[in-house]
């Protein structure tokens, strides 16, 4: 941590941004575009196959200059180098943060405590590839000799959201004669529905848990074992129908999974940064090792871009800085992610964890309360569906919501006019949000006076448009890494630990006290508050 780090709101660039904000607020996107006819081409970056148009933001060239100065004054370059060189930048857990090592090519060297971790990463990838090929080809047989047709990933949080998102995103490339499902919730319905039409003889469970102690995952894993053994009878069937992805060999063995069928990762991989580790085993079985490696290649290309590109052309840095601009100066409370691509339907949910678990923090790395806003609320839905529901508020509500529109030039399913219509919609939305419709324009359409205010759109609502050639595994890797590093940039500016999750740990501990009170009649009186005591009694009473 550089010693000379000045508190965020005392940095000169912050103060300059604060006064600059007052000028910008008085401006409008209509005026900014009219004053600079080449704005739409100038305020865009093409890098790593991504066209990133940020011209429809409430900014000028000066804003970008000041934001980059803020990045410099926040020592972002040093922070990036610290992450890539394996320094323990997760200060509260005293851990390195090296998801970038998961996609480093063979031959690179990244050291943690003096040891190069890249060879271990590739050893696990090779083991995964061998296993994935055996399952895909049918040479891995279930206990009764039948090939595996169904794969169920059991995990939660970082051990679920990445695998689900990646499977859905890359479904086009998946093995269509196999079924992939994901069970995460401790609500028994999740397991029941995922398995009700499957045969245990043909089903493989991947128990994905970094710690192998998470309540939800272990409960579902035990239920899966009972479900399997109810049909297959013999304990030895477990070895053929269960594999584990974990860092905890002892617990995996205790569960009865052969540790030869355990795929490891390391404490320097955070849960929400783990979809490209062995946690991605279900993805690899679905799309095959080659596609998986090309996804890793995409991640790595974005890593290198982030590490080396000057900030004014650095996609994650620009994206992160624009987020700071709205969050901290305009007071925006949320950010919307709107992929115009059905395969990315779980991408907003995935990003919610990545962004909000990483940057939802209230103290600096040194433990001091922040006096500025940190991470915004992320949310979204794929277009065009969102247009017929919540876009109303984005267009005409009282809240400023910066949007990321994500679209692909070439569709994976070419069906008549569908893609032209889809893309026309995404372009029309960002245009309408930016420029709105004036009362004069509404009147000129023949609207009666009383209706004009209702049909007027203020405009000035900012968005980024991200255009990518097509949704390939490599493109997905780049897109995810773009957001990962944008989150990093923001966390570094806010001076928070983006890599711990004490709020999640609390959730893991809380229920433990109540479980025994529900399962057996509490001998002593309940010791909670009067609301919680009553709720518990009601639940117990309902069973009598």
By the criterion CB under 6 A, which residues form the site for ligand G6Q?
Answer: 156-159, 209-211, 214, 217, 270-272, 357, 501, 504
Nearest approach, Cβ of 102 to ligand G6Q (angstroms)? 14
The residue annotated as part of the active site, out of 48, 201, 357, 517, is 357
Give the separation between CA 264 and CA 337, rounded to whole angstroms. 32
For residue 381, give every residue at least 6 positions away whose Cβ sits within 8 Å of its Cβ, in sequence order, or none: 338, 345, 348, 389, 390
State yes or no: is 249 an active-site residue.
no
DSSP assignment of 309-370 equals S-GGG-HHHHHHHHHHIIIIII---EEEEEEE-GGGTTHHHHHHIIIIIHH--SB-TTSPBP
Nearest approach, Cβ of 455 to ligand G6Q (angstroms)? 44
Residues constituting the chain: 544
Nearest approach, Cβ of 124 to ligand G6Q (angstroms)? 16
Closer residue to ligand G6Q (CB): 272 or 300: 272
Nearest approach, Cβ of 273 to ligand G6Q (angstroms)? 7
Give the separation between CA 151 and CA 168, rounded to whole angstroms. 14
- Residue with tokens 């711990």, as numbered in its chain: 500
State yes or no: is 361 an active-site residue.
no
Give the separation between CA 23 and CA 185, rounded to whole angstroms. 49
Nearest approach, Cβ of 84 to ligand G6Q (angstroms)? 20
State yes or no: is 357 an active-site residue.
yes
Closer residue to ligand G6Q (CB): 453 or 507: 507
Half-sphere exposure of 256 (CA within 13 A, CB side): 17
Token representation of residue 50? 């991504």
Q: Alpha-carbon Rg of the chain, whole angstroms? A: 25
The residue annotated as part of the active site, out of 94, 388, 520, 538, is 388
Cα dihedral 528, 534, 535, 536 in deg (nearest 10):
60
Nearest approach, Cβ of 159 to ligand G6Q (angstroms)? 4
Nearest approach, Cβ of 114 to ligand G6Q (angstroms)? 26
Token representation of residue 402? 């910066």
Give the separation between CA 122 and CA 31, rounded to whole angstroms. 53
Nearest residue to 338 via CA among 373, 402, 382? 382
Closer residue to ligand G6Q (CB): 328 or 358: 358
Token representation of residue 104? 């480093």
Q: Where are the alpha helices (DSSP H) in 242-324?
A: 249-255, 281-287, 289-308, 315-324
Nearest approach, Cβ of 277 to ligand G6Q (angstroms)? 11
> Three-state DSSP class for 47?
strand
For residue 400, give every residue at least 6 positions away whose Cβ sits within 8 Å of its Cβ, in sequence order, or none: 326, 330, 331, 332, 461, 462
DSSP assignment of 195-211 equals HTT--GGGEEEEEE-SS
219 close to 182: Cβ distance less than 8 angstroms: no
Give the separation between CA 370 and CA 364, rounded to whole angstroms. 6
Nearest approach, Cβ of 502 to ligand G6Q (angstroms)? 10
Closer residue to ligand G6Q (CB): 181 or 210: 210
> Three-state DSSP class for 224?
helix
For residue 273, give every residue at least 6 positions away whose Cβ sits within 8 Å of its Cβ, in sequence order, or none: 97, 99, 158, 354, 484, 499
Dihedral over Cα of 474, 475, 480, 486: its sign: positive
Closer residue to ligand G6Q (CB): 270 or 320: 270
Nearest approach, Cβ of 504 to ligand G6Q (angstroms)? 5
Q: Which residues are catalytic?
A: 357, 388, 508
């Amino acid at each position: 941590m550089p010693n000379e780090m000045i508190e965020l709101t005392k940095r000169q660039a912050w103060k300059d941004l604060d006064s600059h904000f007052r000028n910008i607020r008085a401006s409008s996107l209509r005026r900014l575009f009219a004053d600079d006819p080449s704005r739409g081409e100038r305020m865009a970056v093409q890098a790593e196959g991504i066209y990133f148009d940020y011209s429809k933001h409430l900014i000028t060239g000066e804003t970008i200059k000041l934001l980059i100065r803020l990045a410099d004054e926040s020592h972002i370059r040093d922070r990036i180098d610290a992450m890539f060189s394996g320094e323990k930048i997760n200060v509260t857990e005293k851990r390195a943060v090296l998801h970038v090592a998961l996609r480093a090519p063979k031959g690179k060297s990244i050291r943690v405590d003096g040891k190069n971790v890249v060879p271990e990463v590739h050893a696990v990838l090779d083991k995964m590839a061998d296993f994935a090929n055996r399952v895909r080809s049918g040479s891995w047989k279930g206990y009764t000799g039948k090939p595996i047709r169904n794969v169920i990933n059991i995990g939660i949080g970082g051990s679920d959201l990445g695998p689900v998102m990646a499977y859905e995103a890359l479904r086009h490339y998946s093995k269509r004669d196999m079924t992939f499902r994901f069970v995460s919730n401790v609500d028994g319905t999740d397991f029941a529905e995922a398995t009700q039409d499957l045969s245990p003889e043909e089903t493989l469970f991947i128990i994905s848990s970094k710690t192998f102690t998470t309540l939800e995952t272990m409960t579902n894993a035990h239920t899966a074992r009972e479900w399997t053994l109810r049909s297959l009878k013999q304990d030895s069937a477990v070895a053929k129908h269960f594999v584990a992805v974990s860092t905890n060999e002892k617990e995996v063995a205790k569960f009865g999974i052969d540790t030869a069928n355990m795929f490891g990762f390391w404490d320097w991989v955070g849960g929400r940064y783990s979809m490209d580790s062995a946690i991605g085993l279900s993805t690899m079985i679905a799309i095959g090792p080659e596609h998986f490696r090309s996804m890793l290649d995409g991640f790595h290309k974005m890593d290198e871009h982030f590490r080396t590109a000057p900030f004014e052309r650095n996609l994650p840095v620009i994206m992160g800085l624009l987020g700071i601009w709205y969050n901290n100066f305009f007071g925006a409370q949320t950010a919307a992610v709107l992929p115009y691509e059905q395969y990315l339907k779980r991408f907003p949910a995935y990003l919610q964890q990545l962004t909000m678990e990483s940057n939802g923090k209230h103290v600096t790395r040194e433990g001091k309360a922040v006096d500025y806003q940190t991470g915004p609320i992320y949310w979204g839905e794929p277009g065009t569906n969102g247009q017929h529901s919540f876009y109303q508020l984005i267009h005409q509500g009282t809240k400023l919501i910066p949007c990321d529109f994500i679209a692909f030039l070439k569709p994976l399913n070419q069906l008549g006019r569908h893609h032209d219509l889809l893309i026309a919609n995404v372009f029309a939305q960002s245009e309408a949000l930016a420029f709105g419709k004036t009362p004069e324009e509404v009147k000129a359409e023949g609207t009666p006076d009383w209706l004009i205010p209702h049909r007027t759109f203020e405009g000035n609502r900012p968005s980024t448009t991200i255009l990518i050639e097509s949704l390939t595994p490599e493109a997905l890797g780049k897109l995810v890494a773009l957001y990962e590093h944008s989150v990093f940039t923001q966390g570094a500016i806010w001076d928070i630990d983006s890599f711990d999750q004490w709020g999640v740990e609390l959730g893991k501990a809380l229920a433990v006290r109540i479980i025994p009170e529900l399962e057996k009649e509490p001998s002593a009186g309940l010791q909670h508050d009067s609301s919680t005591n009553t709720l518990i009694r009601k639940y117990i009473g309902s069973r009598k």
